[in-house]
Structure 1
Amino acid sequence: MTSKTEKLLSLLNGQPVIPVLKIANVADAVPLARALSRGGLRAIEITLRTADALEAIRRVAAEVEDAIVGAGTILDARQFDEAAAAGSKFIVSPGITSQLLDTAKGSPVPLLPGAITPGEI
């Protein structure tokens, strides 16, 4: 097992589910993350599907101590770097490209790429 795989497993160990959030209003991010954390759901994924997503990740990472915030719907290297810089502890992508894989290899932030076919695994 690689150290990044171990890091990802350590981060998500004990988390029964990972809520996937689409934050339309950045002001909702911290209260929502706090409520989820108080309910035992410390790991959350904020998708990069809105203009406020990166700021939401920044705020949750900075203001919700026990939250394990990840970024989802990462499509390219630029988004990976921005999400990592915003404070994401893990990155989720719907698929993988060689550019995204190269970026992930050079980052301490673990990538969890999606796969649909056996060839993608």
Structure 2
Amino acid sequence: MRIQTFLLSCALALVTLTAQAFDRPFPDTVKRGVMTPANYPAIIIDEKTRTLSAGARIWNQDNMIEMPSALRGSEFAVNYTESDSGDIDRVWILTADEAKRTLPLVPLKPPVTKPAPLPTPVTATK
């Protein structure tokens, strides 16, 4: 019985270590900045006051959700995304290793060209 408990404990420890060793995936539209928390729903990113969206989520370095009120009085290197209305909807507080990495370049979309106008219809006259 003791051997089974020991082996089970070792297996769980091994699974836990591999789960903590993954890189967090960030979306392609992520931006980088320095965040200073303010009175909710305000947030200061790169010395500009921004607004958190209604369903905004903030993940800490351990990839656990943080409440904005628990972050007061500190500056954090963050990745963040914006909603269509310009509010901040997702924030990831970066570890020291993540902050050292540069963001991948997002390929620019080719400009949309207008299609050529259709020729005017020709009417037959007699």
TM-score by length of 2: 0.22
Which of the pair is proportionally richer in strand? 2
Which of the pair is proportionally richer in helix? 1
